[in-house]
Amino acid sequence: MMWFKRFLTGCAVLSLLLVIGFFTLAPQWVDRNANVVTGGAGPAPSAATLALHQQLLVGDLHADSALWGRDLLTRNTWGQVDLPRLIEGGAALQMFTTVTKSPRGQNYDRNASDAADNITLLALAQRWPAAAYNSLFARAMLQAERVHTATERSSQLTLIRSQTDLSSLLSQRANGQRVVGALLGTEGSHALDGELENIDRLYTAGFRMMGLQHFFDNRLGGSLHGESQTGLTRFGIDAVKKMHAMDVMIDVAHSSEATVRDTLAATGNAALIVSHTGFQGHCPSPRNISDETMALITEAGGLIGVGFWADVTCGESVTAIAEAIRYGVKRFGASHIALGSDWDGSVTTPIDAAQLPHLTQALVDAGLSEADIRAVMGGNMARFLKEHLPPT
Ligand SMILES: [Zn+2]
């Protein structure tokens, strides 16, 4: 029975290798394959564009970079965002959004609330602490901790929680320091684990933007990609009222149109954020809400972050992003349009954070005025934060 013993030993060794591979290689392998840069950045920016880009205040409303466990302070050869690339791209502000649940078989049309969850597998591979298996709140806090740790280890990355923090970042930048402000947001308020008090806890941890839904209906109400297409529940109404009262910016990027209308009603027409999206009128896609609903948001002073991936721009290149932005500027007004890349959100994009000057070039080529380019590349985001962050 020697062969059988050898067979068993072989199986044991193979299993061990698979286990080691799962814990060491799988998280990075998934990250590398989920967050791809295509190289559709177009030609190198001109000297005039680079000079313009250097004067811009550049900001982005959505990146899921804290999910992957990648060192945010090291320049990585994969993924789309880290501090060195943000600095190289001339970025001043980056919202880091925390992903806590993502349904197996995720699609833009219809996802069940009780579908198996992909993040649990990632949590296992990254060996997250036990709390993060059962609690989505713990998952948001774990990713926030990664951003906190990065800001503590770097003098060039700083957490923005208030108007005071923002002012000091902007004056540092005005003095020529290449510092980047990090903000924290949630991707879906299932991260509250059904407790309104968790809004306070997330706020204390520095969260200043809270998304209401992700790909499925949750306790707050209907998702744009859920089964019900309903609006806010009673709990959802209480939650958005509490967020609004606490100066938490509300993100409806994955919410059903009914949820958007209910949120406007519950908050007395608060200025909402759609942190990463495209426009139905430019790119008919189940990922984009109707222009009519978008108009309700912008008429109430809202801010729309234009995404960088093909499902929202209907194109693979940086020109497609510029075209989506140009459509938004014409349809809703330049003061309501911003960047919402969705970098590191399991999307393929033509540029990474280091290549932001290519987007400025594409906006120049699309015929946007210098004032409009200033506004959409980050001026609007900075103004919106000044208006909506708590004073101190
Ligand atoms: Zn998203």
**What's the mean pLDDT in 7-30?**
73
Both tokens assigned to 158: 């700083």
**What's the mean pLDDT in 268-275?**
98
| Residue showing tokens 């649940």 | 101
pLDDT band, residue 336 (cuts 50/70/90) = very high
Q: How far apart are CA 154 and CA 83, in angstroms?
A: 9
The predicted pLDDT at position 105 comes to 85
User: How many whole angstroms from 342 Cα to the centroid of ligand 1?
Assistant: 7
User: How many whole angstroms from 157 Cα to the centroid of ligand 1?
Assistant: 23
User: How many whole angstroms from 391 Cα to the centroid of ligand 1?
Assistant: 28
Quote the DSSP letter at residue 58.
E
The predicted pLDDT at position 316 comes to 93
User: How many whole angstroms from 345 Cα to the centroid of ligand 1?
Assistant: 7
* In the predicted structure, residue 241 carries a pLDDT above the cut 70: yes
User: How many whole angstroms from 254 Cα to the centroid of ligand 1?
Assistant: 7
- 284 conformational bin, left if phi > 0, alpha if psi -120 to 50, beta if neither: beta
User: How many whole angstroms from 95 Cα to the centroid of ligand 1?
Assistant: 13
Kindly report, residue by residue over 145-200, the tens digit of the pLDDT.
Answer: 999 999 999 999 999 999 999 999 999 999 999 999 999 999 999 999 999 999 99
> 221: which residues sit within 8 A by CB, 6+ positions away?
212, 213, 230, 231, 232, 233, 236, 255, 256, 258, 259, 262
Both tokens assigned to 360: 């400025």
User: How many whole angstroms from 185 Cα to the centroid of ligand 1?
Assistant: 11
User: How many whole angstroms from 344 Cα to the centroid of ligand 1?
Assistant: 10
User: Collapsing DSSP states into helix, strand and coil, what is residue 207?
Assistant: strand
Q: Which domain holds residue 71?
A: 35-388
* In the predicted structure, residue 24 carries a pLDDT above the cut 70: no
Please report, as a single letter, which amino acid is at residue 141: M
The predicted pLDDT at position 134 comes to 87
Kindly report, residue by residue over 202-224, the tens digit of the pLDDT.
Answer: 999 999 999 999 999 999 999 99
User: How many whole angstroms from 152 Cα to the centroid of ligand 1?
Assistant: 27
* In the predicted structure, residue 25 carries a pLDDT above the cut 90: no
User: How many whole angstroms from 50 Cα to the centroid of ligand 1?
Assistant: 30
pLDDT band, residue 64 (cuts 50/70/90) = very high
User: How many whole angstroms from 275 Cα to the centroid of ligand 1?
Assistant: 8
Q: How far apart are CA 175 and CA 253, in angstroms?
A: 35
User: How many whole angstroms from 331 Cα to the centroid of ligand 1?
Assistant: 23
Kindly report, residue by residue over 91-122, the tens digit of the pLDDT.
Answer: 999 999 999 999 888 899 898 888 889 999 88
Please report, as a single letter, which amino acid is at residue 158: T
* In the predicted structure, residue 252 carries a pLDDT above the cut 80: yes
The predicted pLDDT at position 1 comes to 65
User: How many whole angstroms from 371 Cα to the centroid of ligand 1?
Assistant: 29
pLDDT band, residue 304 (cuts 50/70/90) = very high
User: How many whole angstroms from 187 Cα to the centroid of ligand 1?
Assistant: 7
User: How many whole angstroms from 66 Cα to the centroid of ligand 1?
Assistant: 14
Q: How far apart are CA 85 and CA 328, in angstroms?
A: 27
Residue-averaged pLDDT of the chain: 95
**Which DSSP string corresponds to 344-379?**
TSS--BS--GGGHHHHHHHHHHTT--HHHHHIIIII
User: How many whole angstroms from 383 Cα to the centroid of ligand 1?
Assistant: 23
Return the percentage of the chain with pLDDT > 70, whole number: 97
**What's the mean pLDDT in 293-309?**
98
CA 178 to chain centre: 22
The predicted pLDDT at position 4 comes to 74
CATH code for the domain of 213: 3.20.20.140
User: How many whole angstroms from 310 Cα to the centroid of ligand 1?
Assistant: 14
* In the predicted structure, residue 21 carries a pLDDT above the cut 70: no
User: How many whole angstroms from 68 Cα to the centroid of ligand 1?
Assistant: 15
Phi, psi of 73 (to 5 degrees): -100, -5
User: How many whole angstroms from 102 Cα to the centroid of ligand 1?
Assistant: 10
Q: Decide if 19 is inside a domain.
A: no
Q: Decide if 271 is inside a domain.
A: yes
Q: How far apart are CA 53 and CA 91, in angstroms?
A: 10
Higher pLDDT: 266 or 133? It is: 266
Q: Decide if 12 is inside a domain.
A: no
User: How many whole angstroms from 140 Cα to the centroid of ligand 1?
Assistant: 14
**What's the mean pLDDT in 26-32?**
86
Nearest Cα to Cα of residue 309 among 335, 332, 337, 288: 288
The number of domains in the chain is 1
Q: Decide if 16 is inside a domain.
A: no
User: How many whole angstroms from 77 Cα to the centroid of ligand 1?
Assistant: 23
User: How many whole angstroms from 253 Cα to the centroid of ligand 1?
Assistant: 7
Kindly report, residue by residue over 343-382, the tens digit of the pLDDT.
Answer: 999 999 999 999 999 999 999 999 999 999 999 999 999 9
